[in-house]
Amino acid sequence: MTHVRSGYTLLDGPPAVADYLALRRDTGMHPKTEEQARAGSHGAWAAVHVRHDDSGATVGMGRVIGDGGWYFHVIDMAVLPEHQGQGLGSAVLQHLLDRIREDAPPGAYVSLMADGPGQPLYARHGFQDRAPHTIGMGRRLDGPRG
């Protein structure tokens, strides 16, 4: 266990499914199902969550998905609004980047998709907008192919 700031503890591993779903909901992220949360949380290359020591509540999280060698993508970065401004998001991101530095071969490429509020945090950690050379693209699949 790593102490982040007095009153908080950074824990390796994903949060409990209920906590994951609540963090996504309470921070304005797109909702996920329990099935998605269970499968996704254990499919991460690395995961960390933050516990508030007094209440025991999970108040922040972050994950990395990747191939373990070259590509790593930071996802699910979230800190509850009432706990923002405490350096928790920065601590989560730094922990994940340190893990990549320690366990991946040199030259790993780390990417993420940054919503407006998170952009200053990511910029402080060296992330840069790659547009117009590279743009983020995505697609949601609706179900089994018919």
The architecture CATH gives domain 2-124: 3-Layer(aba) Sandwich (3.40)
Give me the pLDDT at residue 116, please. Answer: 83
Query: Could you tell me what percentage of the chain is helix, strand and coil, using 3-state DSSP and rounding each to the nearest 5?
Result: 30, 25, 45
Domain locations along the chain: 2-124
pLDDT of residue 87: 95
At 142 the pLDDT is 81
pLDDT at 140: 82
What pLDDT score was predicted for residue 11? Answer: 96
Give the model's pLDDT for residue 111: 95
Looking at residue 145, its pLDDT comes to 64
pLDDT of residue 102: 95
Mean pLDDT by 10 residues, the chain (146 residues): 81 96 95 93 93 97 96 97 96 96 94 90 94 86 71
Residue 78: name the closest of 94, 93, 95, 56 by CA: 93
